């Protein structure tokens, strides 16, 4: 049995706390909001996980020191926009060599850093790992079969996290490609916004397949240029995560995109979804990285145009369809002219 502190009581943090407690671990679940912590303690329910019950064995607290004290593992489960400030608050209570597993997905807009590197800047004494993959909290909290990847630059921390989370319905693989894992997890949210916008416009399955396929091509181009491994983007944290986020109504990014495609503004869509829409925050960072690394990312460009430049979804789709003619894969060569 391990002692685990889950830092963040959103749907994903709560689902993982339930999973870890079910695996026999001692779990503390931390909320930054005292009123929310009190509600979770008293009701043992999360309002956005209607089929899940928080076991009595999980201690819910708004005391960060209490949540971190004497823990074998800390799970960072706050939204990407709060990762830096939460990590900074954690610094006084961190023990040297503490394993901190980030499960949020995003890129910090100001620094263009993946979240593990943000955490490393704020918590230099921590061993930072990541856990990512196609994993909606709503399904994990119900015990539906799910697969994820535990990533770390060192084998031992990755395998330790794997051992704590893995069970008969939650299978965990390991990987040394932390950068590739994080880029796949962050950038798929931007593509999922595009997929949702297409749904809102009334497009069909052909469009969805095209966005998923060309979306993973964009993600892979940038990821490999930045130092990620191509194999990672063809795996669970690349194409796997992209498929589920573009196709599922559990996806807040897809839901927000549908609303935008139907005529809502970005702000109206985010209010309607009532949860953090990570793709909105990652879109600008993705576009900035594409320019920094001189990588073509037309879907990312058009998502930014719709979100921030007032371009209509119909015009953005038309722009994508009427781009210059080209080969699907420039690495393939003709044997005959």
CA 141/CA 15 separation, integer angstroms: 5
Quote the tokens at residue 127: 């061993």
**CB-CB contact of 224 with 230 (8 Å):** yes
The residues annotated with a catalytic role in the active site are 188
Quote the tokens at residue 336: 């005959």
**CB-CB contact of 166 with 145 (8 Å):** no
Residues 6+ apart with CB under 8 A from 47: none
3-state secondary structure the chain: CCEEEEECCCHHHHHHHHHHHHCCCEEEEECCCHHHHHHHHHHCCECCECCCCCCCCCEEECCHHHHHCCCCEEEECCCHHHHHHHHHHHHHHCCCCCEEEECCCCECCCCCCEHHHHHHHHCCCCEEEEEECCCCHHHHCCCCCEEEEEECCCHHHHHHHHHHHCCCCEEEEEECCHHHHHHHHHHHHHHHHHHHHHHHCCCCHHHHHHHHHHHHHHHHHHHHHHCCCHHHHCCHHHHHHHHHHHHCCCCHHHHHHHHHHCCCCHHHHHHHHCCCCHHHHHHHHHHHHHHHCCCCCHHHHHHHHHHHCCCCHHHHHHHHHCCCCCCCCCCCCCCCC
Quote the tokens at residue 138: 């709503």
**CB-CB contact of 123 with 68 (8 Å):** no
CA 148/CA 220 separation, integer angstroms: 19
């Amino acid at each position: 049995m391990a002692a685990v502190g889950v830092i963040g009581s959103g749907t994903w943090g709560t689902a993982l706390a339930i999973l870890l407690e079910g695996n026999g671990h001692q779990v503390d679940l931390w909320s930054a909001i005292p009123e929310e912590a009190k509600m979770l303690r008293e009701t043992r329910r999360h309002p956005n996980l209607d089929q899940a019950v928080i076991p009595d064995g999980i201690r819910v607290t708004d005391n960060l020191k209490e949540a971190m004290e004497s823990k074998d593992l800390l799970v960072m489960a706050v939204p990407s926009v709060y990762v830096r400030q939460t990590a900074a608050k954690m610094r006084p209570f961190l023990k040297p060599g503490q394993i901190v597993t980030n499960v949020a997905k995003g890129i910090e807009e100001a620094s263009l850093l993946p979240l593990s590197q943000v955490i490393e800047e704020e918590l230099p004494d921590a061993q930072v790992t990541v856990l990512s993959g196609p994993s909606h909290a709503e399904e994990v909290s119900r015990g539906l079969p799910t697969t994820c990847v535990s990533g770390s630059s060192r084998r031992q921390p990755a395998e330790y996290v794997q051992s704590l989370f893995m069970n008969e319905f939650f299978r965990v693989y390991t990987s040394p490609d932390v950068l590739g894992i994080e880029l796949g997890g962050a950038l798929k949210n931007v593509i999922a916004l595009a997929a949702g916008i297409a749904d809102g416009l009334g497009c069909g399955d052909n469009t969805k397949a095209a966005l998923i396929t060309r979306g993973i091509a964009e993600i892979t181009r940038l990821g490999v240029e930045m130092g990620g491994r191509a194999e990672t983007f063809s795996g669970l944290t690349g194409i796997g995560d992209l498929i589920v986020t573009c196709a599922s109504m559990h996806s807040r990014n897809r839901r927000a995109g549908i609303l935008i495609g139907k005529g809502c503004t970005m702000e109206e869509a985010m209010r309607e979804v009532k949860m953090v829409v990570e793709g909105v925050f990652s879109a600008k960072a993705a576009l900035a990285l594409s320019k920094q690394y001189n990588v073509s990312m037309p879907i990312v460009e058009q998502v930014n145009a719709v979100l921030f430049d007032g371009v209509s979804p119909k015009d953005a789709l038309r722009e994508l369809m009427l781009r210059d003619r080209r080969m699907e894969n420039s690495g393939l060569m003709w044997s005959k002219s």
